[in-house]
Amino acid sequence: MKYFWLTVYCGGLMMACQNHSTKFIESKPNDSTYTIVGKVHGLDSGWVYLLHNQSDPSITDSAKIDSGFFVFKGKASVPEHCLLGISNNGNKEFRLGFFVQNGQIKITAKKDSLSEAAITGSAAQDEYKKFIEGRKPLDEEEEKLGKLYAAVEAKKDQRMLDSLNKIFDAFEKKQQDYIKNYVHNHPSSYIGAFEVYRNFSYNPDAVVLENICNMFDTSIQYSYYGKKIKNTLEIAKKTAIGQGAPEFAQNNIDGKPVALSSFKGKYVLVDFWASWCGPCRAENPNVVKAFQKFHAKGFDILGVSLDEHKDKWAEAIKKDKLNWAQVSDLKGWKNSVAELYGVAGIPMNFLIDKNGKIIAKGLRGDDLEKKLAELL
């Protein structure tokens, strides 16, 4: 299944916007100090931006481009993932992700293919490059599956989409096995922790994730991504099948609060989605079908939207015929209920029984209907 993910990147612990240069300069690293010197071919002037999600997601450092060259300076006591972007028609487009660490890092890129930049001077980035090279067959397979999914989605062939979802589930396991093996062989790798967080945060299996956590050296367990993984694990345990569903209340589209506890005595699906999420919209017909078939038998739905714009949220509800309770705090990925349930990708759902216990999650395609048929 192609999901929309909450992807978290991290950056330098301290950065300063520095001036430009017309050539690569040599400098000796001092403690955790780093210098990023870059050249963007095809872009003689303008601005380049460095995003720091780890220290403060609201901060984006900038450097002026002079004759295609730019410089950033800062500090990073450990390898950290950053995003580099350029300005396009007034918008900041972040196209290059890379690892920063102490020393001098050189970036050479072309304006129209920033993501394919050549990067040297970062041992962590060198390791990540090898990781990606080893994953190349999987990336090629994913690209083919993605194109097939897009073609089928365009035709609105729901049956084929459901079949592809199962193929994606099997493919996801292959991706995760590659990462688990990598961590097993590289227990002190920041790259391993970064990839585990990115690939095991959607509908995590608490047992599997805990086993992976235990593979890491202590230094990694207490690193930024190690802590993020542990937090994901703790939420996964609280929202595992058999646990009581965490209580919440959020406002509906009319501004009136709706509490999960108000559905007690029914089977209720807490369905996380958003109007801007293509896979969510493609999944909605399955949810509508299940609602129409089982609502009279004691099944209900509480939709939780990760939207930010009320008008688009309302429009999608009407267009997709989502005739059940909908709530949102209009904070996007920072939706408080999504954070409470550890939702890192959508569509995602939790099926709760009459007594308020979670009995299934991540039901897609015809899986929801099959599960309800067993229960009702």
Find, among 273, 279, 256, the residue nearest to 333 by Cα. Answer: 273
List beta partners, residue 299: 267
The single-letter DSSP state of residue 81 is E
Find, among 241, 235, 232, the residue nearest to 196 by Cα. Answer: 232
pLDDT at 336: 98
- The string of pLDDT tens digits covering residues 364-375 is 988 999 999 999
d(CA 329, CA 253): 9
d(CA 269, CA 88): 42
d(CA 130, CA 159): 38
pLDDT at 168: 85
Report the sign of the C-alpha dihedral through residues 327, 332, 335, 339, in that order: positive
Q: CB–CB of 225/196 below 8 Å?
A: yes
> For tokens 């984006």, what's the residue?
60
How many C-alpha atoms does 75 have within 13 Å on its Cβ side? 6
Residue 20 burial (CB < 10 Å; 0-12/13-18/19+)? middle
Phi, psi (5° rounding) for residue 296?
-65, -15
Q: CB–CB of 70/48 below 8 Å?
A: yes
The amino acid sitting at 327 is V
Question: 3-state DSSP call for residue 349?
Answer: strand
CA distances from 289 to 1, 165, 229, 269, 296 (A): 19, 17, 36, 13, 13
Q: CB–CB of 42/97 below 8 Å?
A: no
Low-confidence ranges of the chain (pLDDT < 50): 1-30
- The string of pLDDT tens digits covering residues 313-332 is 999 999 999 999 999 999 99
Q: CB–CB of 239/350 below 8 Å?
A: yes
The amino acid sitting at 308 is E
pLDDT at 17: 27
The single-letter DSSP state of residue 245 is P
The structure's pTM equals 0.83
d(CA 225, CA 204): 16
Task: Collect all residues with Cβ–Cβ distance below 8 Å to 110 and sequence separation of at least 6.
Answer: 40, 41, 42, 116, 117
pLDDT at 57: 65
How many C-alpha atoms does 16 have within 13 Å on its Cβ side? 9
d(CA 158, CA 156): 6
Other beta carbons less than 10 A from residue 256's beta carbon: 8
The single-letter DSSP state of residue 14 is E
d(CA 190, CA 54): 14
d(CA 102, CA 75): 7
